[in-house]
Chain A
Amino acid sequence: MSLIVKTVTRLTVGLILLYGVYIVSQGHLSSGGGFAGGVMIALSFVHMMLAFGKETAFKKLSEAKALFFESLGVLIFLGIALLGLVGGVFFLNFLPPGEAFRLFSGGTIPFSNIAISLNVGAGLFTVFLAIVLLNNDSERK
């Protein structure tokens, strides 16, 4: 890609990632949540990969690592649900609701959001990698 694209990307990738993290962490207070934020995080990596090529992106997050994070995210989410089962009922919100409109409120909701964002972010990046790598292979033939 051209120098302009690379420079702009260098400036914006961090912002997109940061915004994704913000959306995840504020999911229980304002609009957004684990899914939207997760997609944004994935998009920031996709953005980087489109601008700098796959080697740079691979250094940050390889396919194996992305798959690992994806499984980890959904496993954490199931773990939260099963902790509820230990406490009495499947998916019990076992933490206190806390003071409303604070960052640490809503019991397990923020933690579920983080787990989901891991799952979605890493998962979608894996999908993108799989599809892009496949394309490159077939074009080389």
Chain B
Amino acid sequence: MTMMVLYILLVLMIVGSIIAVEIKDLLSSVVALGAVGLGLSIVFLLLKAPDVALTQIVVEIFMVIILIRATLRRDLESSPTRSRPLGAVAAIGFIAILMMIATTSFKDLPTFGEPAMRVAATYLEQGLSKTGAGNLVAAVMLDFRGYDTLGEATVLFTAVIGVSAVVRRIGRKKANRLKGRENA
């Protein structure tokens, strides 16, 4: 039953993403993207990952808001729909190679639903007793692998500083003693 729902959701997500990529109207594209994110969140719930589902849905909301903010009131004339032929060839070539290798490589992966769990067994056994956190994901994120989480917070921090640096009105001070700067 779970598998059936999973397949249906996955197919819907793929359809949704194709719509998001191919539709002409940018706003509809962003909305379709939001639907894909919502579907993904439900898939995460099905796969017993409530933490991830929660984060996915709120992050998706934020992404859709800023994307809509970017696309709102942009005239359609400026939104091309045609593809870049060279890029399309490169993409299809790469995807073909990837799919070809992947289909043989899938056989090496453990069966779906039966992960090997070499390291993870330790988390299940010791997570509660050693860290005292009932949520094992929180235990892994902030204790066993807290350093990764620092890195993640730093990436977000970097992006925020980056965004506020990029949106500056004036990037370069006017060079007074130089006349005729070419690259300013």
Chain A directly contacts chain B within the complex, with at least one CB pair under 8 Å: yes
With A and B bound together, what is the CA distance between A15 and B59 in angstroms? 18
Q: Write the chain A residue with the least CB distance to B164.
A: A130
Interface segment out of the listed A3-11, A54-62, A118-126: A118-126
**In angstroms, how far is the closest chain A Cβ from the Cβ of B3?**
23
Q: How far apart sit A46 and B137, CA to CA, in the bound complex (Å)? A: 28
Please tell me if A51 contacts chain B, counting CB pairs below 8 Å: no
The main secondary structure of chain A at its interface with chain B is helix
A2 CB within 8 Å of chain B? no
CA A74 to CA B69, docked complex, whole Å: 27
Given contacts A39-B55, A97-B131, contact A107 B50 (CB under 8 A): no
Neighbouring B residues of A30 by C-beta, 8 Å: 134-135
User: Is B24 an interface residue, CB under 8 A from the partner?
Assistant: no
Asked if A90 meets B147 with Cβ closer than 8 Å, knowing A36-B54, A126-B160, A131-B167, the reply is yes
The stretch that binds A, out of B29-37, B150-158, B172-180, is B150-158
Asked, given contacts A67-B164, A131-B167, whether A93 binds B131 with beta carbons under 8 Å apart, the answer is yes
Cα-based distance from A97 to B139 in the complex (angstroms): 11
Query: Would you call A28 and B62 a contact (CB within 8 A)?
Result: no
Q: Which residue from chain A places its CB closest to the CB of B49 in the assembled complex?
A: A31
Q: How large is the interface on B (under 10, 10 to 19, 20 to 34, 35 or more residues)?
A: 35 or more
Residues of chain A within 8 A of B50, CB atoms compared: 31
How many residues on the A side are at the interface (Cβ–Cβ under 8 A)? Answer: 57
How far, in whole Å, are A74 and B130 apart by their CA atoms in the complex?
25
The contact string, 1 if C-beta is below 8 Å from chain B, for chain A 75-99, is: 0011001000000001101001111
Within 8 A of A (CB), among B104-143: 128-135, 137-139, 141-143
Q: Are B150 and A77 in contact (CB under 8 A)?
A: yes
Q: A93-B143, A97-B131 are in contact. Are A36 and B51 (CB under 8 A)?
A: yes
Contact in complex: B156, A131 (CB < 8 Å): no
* A118: min CB distance to chain B, Å: 10
Distance in angstroms from B11 CB to nearest chain A CB is 27
Distance in angstroms from B154 CB to nearest chain A CB is 7
Task: Flag if B142 contacts A42 (CB, 8 Å).
Answer: no
Contact A126/B65 with A27-B138, A70-B157 known, Cβ cut-off 8 Å: no
Select one of B51, B58, B62, B154 contacting A31, CB under 8 A: B51
Q: Are A126 and B133 in contact (CB under 8 A)?
A: no
Interface residues of B (CB under 8 A from A): 50-51, 53-55, 58-59, 61-62, 65-66, 69-70, 72-73, 128-135, 137-139, 141-143, 146-147, 149-150, 153-154, 156-157, 159-160, 163-164, 167, 169
